[in-house]
């Protein structure tokens, strides 16, 4: 796959008589009407997935209706980001794994400096088309490359990196890939910058809300042939031209999610804080995500999780079906170990002594 950067085109200011043709502001309207060509392109992205249990929701998500991801991101996600990370107007932001662009549009409506990155050129093309329909192409730089390392220096250090429904699509069976990507993204942050993780299914839960709608899938081995066969037999999964055939494709689709502790493990040795463990860090959050039909158990579960999580300084989202609004902020230089010198550092044994330096 060739490296491509989609440069924004300079937009001409609208003349007064053209104002009636200005794209509707979805923040005000609560919806956005895309062109028939865009709707056709969006539907084509889901080809071969018509038998997926969440197909109709996937289709609705990608358009501009009141229940679409676009409107959800504008009305809910952006205020949550600004509550935890401050106003976006003075920040540089990377939408990592931007896909077809609903989160990119939501960011660009609030931030003048946005970069979007994805490995899939078809998704990036749809994202670019979406930005044009919103009149936001001049605010966003789009990058498409098979490897983030190829473009990270061109994207530059940023204040905020959004990973919205992304981590679960990075295969665990490709050993070390998630760790490399998370660490690379962390190093791309400016000091005080944040990774913002949203809408990633929590593998600590035994139910796959994201892909198959089946129990126990997340607790099987990632890429499990048995889990794949079970999902196919149940009519809850089938090979799609957008994913690798077989269990690897089901993994790419997101069936195995991620956990809070897994993500922290990828950042071992780095200096950071989890904003959700600070006072007020869990306000406003609806952690049910795709499990909203389980609202009847929400309040007793909230009470139990609060008793367990708060004293241990563990984010509540670590125990819920989806990792939502998880914010990890870069606080300084990475930790490193150095051999101590001098008589004060020597121990009575012959083994060298190491100290941790921040």
pLDDT of residue 17: 32
* pLDDT at residue 26 in the model: 73
Give me the DSSP letters along 297-336: GHHHHHHHHHHHHHHHT--GGGGSSEE-SEEEEE-SSPPE
Would you tell me how many other CB atoms lie within 10 Å of the CB of residue 60? 15
Q: Measured in whole angstroms, how far is the alpha carbon of residue 321 from the centre of its chain?
A: 15
Q: How far is it, in rounded angstroms, from Cα 232 to Cα 185?
A: 35
> Alpha helices of the chain — where are they, by DSSP H?
26-29, 36-45, 55-62, 69-72, 78-85, 102-108, 121-134, 152-155, 177-187, 225-233, 247-253, 260-266, 298-312
In this predicted structure, what is the pLDDT of residue 330? 98
Residues in the chain: 358
Please state, in angstroms and as integers, the Cα–Cα distance from residue 170 to each residue in 17, 133, 182, 273, 302, following that order. Answer: 48, 29, 11, 24, 30
CB-based contacts of 214, cutoff 8 Å, min separation 6: 207, 208, 230, 231, 234, 236
The number of CA neighbours under 13 Å toward the Cβ of 295 is: 3
Residue ranges of domains in the chain, CATH in brackets: 4-12+26-337 (3.40.50.150)
d(CA 100, CA 115) in angstroms, rounded, equals: 14
Q: Using CB atoms within 10 A of its CB, is residue 216 exposed (0-12), middle (13-18) or buried (19+)?
A: exposed
**DSSP H helices in 197-314:** 225-233, 247-253, 260-266, 298-312
Give the pLDDT confidence score for residue 353 in this predicted structure: 27
Distance of CA 151 to the CA centre of its chain: 19
Strand-pairing partners, residue 114, are 93, 140
Q: How far apart are CA 259 and CA 319, in angstroms?
A: 9
The residue ranges of the chain whose pLDDT is under 70 are: 1-25, 27-29, 283-304, 306, 333-358
Closest CA to 251 of 330, 151, 177, 148: 177
Q: Evaluate whether 196 touches 160 at the Cβ level (below 8 Å).
A: yes
Please report how many Cα atoms fall inside a 13 Å half-sphere around the Cα of residue 79, on the Cβ side. Answer: 9
Q: Which two tokens stand for residue 136?
A: 């936001």
Tokens of 287: 């952690």
* Tens digit of each residue's pLDDT (9 = 90 or more) over 173-196: 999 999 999 999 999 999 999 999
Q: At which residue do the structure tokens 């997926």 appear?
A: 52
Report the Cα–Cα distance between both ends of the chain, in Å, rounded.
40
What does the pLDDT read at residue 27? Answer: 63
Query: Partners of 198 in the beta sheet?
Result: 164
- pLDDT by residue (tens digit) across 267-281? 999 999 999 988 777
The three-state secondary structure class of 186 is: helix
Please give the Cα distance from 300 to 303 (Å, whole number). Answer: 5
Reported as type and span, the H/E element at residue 198 is: strand 189-198
At how many degrees (to 10) do helices 36-45 and 121-134 cross?
Answer: 150
- pLDDT at site 161: 99
Token reading at 326: 């998880």
């Amino acid at each position: 796959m060739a490296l491509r950067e989609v440069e924004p085109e300079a937009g001409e200011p609208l003349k007064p008589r053209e104002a009636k043709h200005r794209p509707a502001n979805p923040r005000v309207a609560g919806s956005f009407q895309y062109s028939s060509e865009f709707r056709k392109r969006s539907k084509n992205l889901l080809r071969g997935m018509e038998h997926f249990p969440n197909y109709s929701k996937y289709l609705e998500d990608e358009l501009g209706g009141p229940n679409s991801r676009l409107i959800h991101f504008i009305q809910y996600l952006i205020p949550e980001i600004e509550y935890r990370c401050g106003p976006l107007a003075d920040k540089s932001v990377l939408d990592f794994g931007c896909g077809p662009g609903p989160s990119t549009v939501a960011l660009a409506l609030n931030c003048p400096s946005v970069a979007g990155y994805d490995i899939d050129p078809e998704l990036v093309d749809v994202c670019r088309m979406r930005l044009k329909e919103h009149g936001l192409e001049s605010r966003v730089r789009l990058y498409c490359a098979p490897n983030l390392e190829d473009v990270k220096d061109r994207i530059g250090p940023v204040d905020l990196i959004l990973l919205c429904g992304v981590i679960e699509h990075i295969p665990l069976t490709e050993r070390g890939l998630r760790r490399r990507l998370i660490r690379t993204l962390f190093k791309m942050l400016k000091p005080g910058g944040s990774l913002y993780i949203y809408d990633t299914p929590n593998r600590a839960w035994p139910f796959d809300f994201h892909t198959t709608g089946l129990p126990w899938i997340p607790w099987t081995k990632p890429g499990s042939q048995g889990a794949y066969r079970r999902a196919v037999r149940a009519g809850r999964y089938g090979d799609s031209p957008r994913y690798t055939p077989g269990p690897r494709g089901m993994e790419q689709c997101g069936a195995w999610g991620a956990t809070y502790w897994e993500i922290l493990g990828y950042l071992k040795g780095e200096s950071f804080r989890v904003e959700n463990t600070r006072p007020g860090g869990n306000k406003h959050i609806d952690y049910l995500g795709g499990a909203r039909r389980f609202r009847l158990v929400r309040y007793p579960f909230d009470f139990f999780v609060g008793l367990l999580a708060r004293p241990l300084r563990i984010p509540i989202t670590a125990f819920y079906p989806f990792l939502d609004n998880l914010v990890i902020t870069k606080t300084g230089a990475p930790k490193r170990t150095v051999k101590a010198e001098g008589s004060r550092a020597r121990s009575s044994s012959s083994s060298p002594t190491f100290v941790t330096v921040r």
